[in-house]
Structure 1
Amino acid sequence: MELKLYALQTLQETALWREAFAKGGLDRPIGYYADCFEANRGGRQVTVLAEADGRIAACGHVLKESGCAPFREEGIAEVHGVNVLPQFRRRGVGGRLLDELEAIALRKYASIGLVVGLDVNDGPAKRMYANRGYVPDGRGPSRGGETVELGGLARADDLLVYWTKELGAKQG
């Protein structure tokens, strides 16, 4: 499998990404794609697309300023929205995509973070992140940006855990 990774730059690439994800069962509202394109143009994020054998297989983003208060306050770049189409999973696409996202973050940041849900659907992603050196940041589960205290009630699909990884020294 030949894998090509590149930063989203054009409306045509955005349309191809949307079409591939709609066909692959990972579609988002049309506004999501437009927002991503504008965030890339404005320098607020970098979206990386992965093509496997000429077909879009995955995407992920590096947010320059995280939407998560703990990451934002500590100057941690956020990996966000990593999605691999089902037919390309367990073939190294996600790992290569994360390599690229981490390399982008390393240009400016010493640490990178991501947010992982506690639901069962994120199991394979959690294993991959742990194998790559990401660890839960110790804050425990949160809902809506607020830590859920011991004894607090929440639905499992509402709970998130922040994970971080030290990338090393920032590049000048």
Structure 2
Amino acid sequence: MMSQNRFNSKPITSIGRSLRQHLSLKEELLLAIAPTLTIAIVMAFVETVSQQRLLFASLAASAFLIYLDPHHSSNTARTLILSQLMAAAIGWFANFTCGAGYVAGIAAMVATIVFTIALDVVHPPAVSTSLSFALQTSSQNNFILFSLAVGAIALLVGLERLALRILTRFH
């Protein structure tokens, strides 16, 4: 029987939660700047290289979750990178084997859920990533571009944690 501590459904630490309860609206908005700018930069980069905008929508959800609770274990750089890249690969494989459609989408979604749970890298936006790749009708392969975007979002994890440490020192 698996231990309940194995799965990452709890915050790593409560440092961010106790601090966030004492933040002013201005400080909260300052914390939101990093994810907003990160996604804007990723979107601008994607636009110059590809027309597959929807492939990157789940990364906006990732950025917001990181902003909301950067210390939650589902928002660590490891979890984000592994779950998102695995989901993209699963979605691409489902598309390749089943064609772009509902069968590929459902297969990719189920496989992503199973693998993220089994590997303890649950990051909910990854399910959307697998669907995006499974339903993609373009012949253009955006896996490398998506990987670079995931790296940018992973940097956001560090930025948000740094911002919270700085705010902690002032409170």
| TM-score in terms of structure 1 length | 0.23
Q: Which has the larger radius of gyration?
A: 2
The answer to which structure has the higher helix fraction is: 2
* Structure in which a larger fraction of residues adopt strand: 1
Q: Which has the higher contact order (CA 8 A, sep 6+)?
A: 2
